[in-house]
Every structure is written in structure tokens, then in C-alpha cells.
């Protein structure tokens, strides 16, 4: 299930030069900065199917080399192939993995944003049905950036974070949009088996470019001053503290 895309915040450029000759990978000694935590403690992780992946030793994220990131046209075409039907009960059950624990943490009429909602914002529709006020944003299909200037009680990010070309910038943006005490609700498949990474279906989706472990989200939360709760596999809730946002009157 793929939603969202085109998340190319400026400033993330590869600082290496790579050459693939047969199965031989040669790369400069200078590693790229981690796009998730912006740390410099990164190392070559794997080369497979002409793709180069790096691992951050600080936040343990795994990411595709920046020189190999897909372009907008490819992403738009790829996402347009997906049909997210609000009447599809199996898809609604899939989204329920995030929505059901979210309903234990926020109550109507809280205001939320479905960030990276894709061409069919089914989760936003389900939350409206539940009594919430929802906005939608997607850089391809709902590109109204005025919604990014507002504040929200919660932001959902469902099967989107793995598409981020510059996660650090995206998470700063999400932090800015959350009210004090606001909740970031995120769903993405955790990368927890290095041995299976090469054949992992999640990696093989060509628009998936960054992969997170549970520890990655605890590191992110620490970086932003959030609390972090992982109630189930692939589900993350990070809450912004009340004292963090200053100068804003709701």
C-alpha cells in the first residue's frame, strides 16, 4: 500500500561518488550525512540490483544513496497506479491498524492532517466519519500548501515516511504543524532483519528509499523532544510536549 510521494525537501545531496563495475562497488572515503538524523556516522550497508544503501550508526536508519532517488515523474506515475477505494473493507482494516489505537489517544472534534494522503485519502475520510475535522496534503494529488501553515491536534502519516527523500526536513515540518501536546501517528514497515533486506518486498518497491527500525523512532523522538510509543509492530505515536511550542495562541 503506497500513499504520498514527491517529498523532496531541499538540501539533501549525496556527498559521495559511486562507480559500479560488475558486482564491484567503489566509493569515496567520505560517507553521506544521514537524511534521518543528519549524523555523519554512516557506512556502506549493501549494494543490490544496482542500488546502493547506507546505514546510520546513530539512528540505525537504512537509506538509498541520494544519487539514485526516483524523480517526480516516476513517482507520480507509480502512485497513480494505486487504487485506494474508501469502500474496500480490507483496505479499511489495514488502515485500522493505525486508526484504532489513534482513537484511544485523540477524541473528536480534534483537528487533524492526513500528510501524504495519496490520490485516495481513505484514512482522512474514515476519521471524518468518526467526527474529526481533517485536512489533506499530498505533493502530487492534494498540493495545497496553505494547509501546511496551520496547527493540528494530530497528524497522520500512513505508509509515507519510507518515501521521504529528506526525512529530517520532513519531521521538522511535522513538528512545526503540531500544537502543544499534538500527536504524530505514523505507520511504516520496520526494517528489523538485515539478512532479509535484499529480498524484502518493502525494499523492492522502487519509491521506498528510507527504512526505519523501532530504535530509529526513539532517536527521532529524543531529537525533537517528543515522547514515543510503539503499541504494535509498524505503528508509532510521537507526542509533542506542552512546553515546546511557544508564541502561539490557539
Q: What is the CATH number of the domain that holds 124?
A: 3.40.50.150
Question: Burial, 86: exposed, middle or buried (Cβ in 10 Å; 0-12, 13-18, 19+)?
Answer: middle
Residue 11: inside a domain:
no
Residue 12: inside a domain:
no
pLDDT at 246: 52
Residuewise pLDDT in 10s, the chain (250 residues): 333 345 544 344 444 344 343 444 454 446 899 999 999 999 999 999 999 999 999 999 999 999 999 999 999 999 888 777 778 899 999 999 999 999 999 999 999 999 999 998 999 999 999 999 999 999 999 999 999 999 999 999 999 999 999 999 999 999 999 999 999 999 999 999 999 999 999 999 999 999 999 999 999 999 999 999 999 999 999 999 997 555 444 3
pLDDT at 7: 53
Count of structural domains within the chain: 1
Q: For residue 72, what are the domain limits?
A: 18-239
Residue 91: inside a domain:
yes
Amino acid at each position: 500500500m503506497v500513499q504520498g510521494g514527491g517529498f523532496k525537501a531541499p538540501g539533501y545531496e549525496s556527498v559521495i561518488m559511486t562507480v559500479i563495475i560488475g558486482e564491484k562497488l567503489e566509493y569515496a572515503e567520505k560517507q553521506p550525512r544521514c537524511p534521518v538524523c543528519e549524523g555523519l556516522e554512516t557506512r556502506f550497508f549493501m549494494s543490490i540490483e544496482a542500488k546502493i544503501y547506507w546505514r546510520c550508526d546513530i539512528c540505525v536508519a537504512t537509506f538509498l544513496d541520494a544519487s539514485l532517488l526516483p524523480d517526480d515523474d516516476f513517482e507520480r506515475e507509480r502512485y497513480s497506479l494505486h487504487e485506494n477505494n474508501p469502500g474496500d473493507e480490507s483496505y479499511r482494516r489495514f488502515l485500522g491498524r493505525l486508526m484504532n489505537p489513534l482513537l484511544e489517544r485523540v477524541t473528536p472534534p480534534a483537528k487533524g492532517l492526513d500528510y501524504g494522503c495519496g490520490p485516495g485519502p481513505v484514512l482522512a475520510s474514515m476519521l471524518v466519519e468518526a467526527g474529526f475535522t481533517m485536512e489533506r496534503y499530498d505533493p502530487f494529488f492534494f498540493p495545497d500548501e496553505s494547509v501546511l501553515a496551520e496547527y493540528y491536534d494530530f497528524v497522520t502519516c500512513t505508509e509515507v515516511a519510507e518515501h521521504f527523500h529528506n526525512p529530517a526536513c520532513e519531521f521538522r515540518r511535522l513538528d512545526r504543524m503540531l500544537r502543544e501536546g499534538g500527536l504524530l501517528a505514523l505507520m511504516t514497515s520496520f526494517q528489523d532483519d538485515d539478512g532479509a533486506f535484499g529480498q524484502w518486498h518493502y525494499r523492492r518497491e522502487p519509491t521506498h528509499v528510507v527504512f526505519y527500525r523501532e530504535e530509529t523512532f526513539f532517536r527521532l523522538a529524543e531529537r525533537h523532544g517528543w515522547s514515543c510509543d510503539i503499541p504494535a509492530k509498524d505503528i508509532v505515536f510521537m507526542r509533542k510536549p506542552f512546553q515546546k511550542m511557544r508564541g502561539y495562541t490557539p
